[in-house]
Amino acid sequence: MKRSYIHMAILAAIGIVACKKNENGIDLFTKMSENRAPVIIANTTFTNPTLLAAGTTTVSNGAKIAVEFNYVQTDPIKEIQFLQKIGTADSTLLSTIPYKPSFSRIKNCDTLLYDYFVPAGQPVGTSVAVRARVINQNGLFKDRVFTFKTKL
């Protein structure tokens, strides 16, 4: 009986010492920041499915793509940006849209509708990437990209 009390006392002492701090003196369970990145909902390609149906990877020059972008505000949102990258060129900013609440009860998230126009005059087979970015006021952001190639 005495031995079990001794064993329990030793285990309790080890438990108390182990929970204190690590060797750097930092509490292992302290949050470093309360900031959270935005959440983009399930529509990972976020495009109109009638235009870019499964397996369709080419779009005509000058075509309009209706973009539906769904996201959730975890921290206050500053803006939504749309960027494009044509071929091997650097990305260019298409537009910056200040955040306005647009909650959809059907989708249970904020929804933004955006019309993207495929640049005209691109050679056939040019790779185009369109990126949508949600930027929080805390500076954290999340992106979604869809890519396609141009055709006549």
pLDDT band with cut points at 50, 70 and 90 for residue 144: confident
Would 19 be classed as within a structural domain? no
Would 77 be classed as within a structural domain? yes
**What is the mean predicted confidence (pLDDT) over 10-15?**
77
128 vs 148: CA distance, rounded Å: 5
pLDDT digits (tens, 9 = 90+) for 43-61: 555 555 555 555 567 888 8
**How do strand 39-40 and strand 92-98 relate by DSSP bridges?**
unpaired
Bigger pLDDT: 43 vs 117: 117
**What is the mean predicted confidence (pLDDT) over 75-89?**
94
Bigger pLDDT: 80 vs 33: 80
What's the chain's average pLDDT? 82
Give pLDDT, residue 89. Answer: 93
The total number of structural domains in the chain stands at 1
Torsion of CA 70, 48, 143, 127, to 10 degrees: 180
pTM above 0.85, yes or no: no
Q: What is the residue range of 146's domain?
A: 34-151
Would 118 be classed as within a structural domain? yes
Distances (CA, A) of 46 to 13, 118, 130, 144: 55, 16, 10, 8
Would 15 be classed as within a structural domain? no
The answer to whether 82 and 51 have CB atoms below 8 angstroms apart is no
Would 100 be classed as within a structural domain? yes
Task: State the CATH number of the domain containing residue 54.
Answer: 2.60.40.730
Single out the residue of 62, 81, 43, 69 nearest to residue 126, CA to CA.
62
**What is the mean predicted confidence (pLDDT) over 62-81?**
89
Would 17 be classed as within a structural domain? no
Give pLDDT, residue 22. Answer: 56
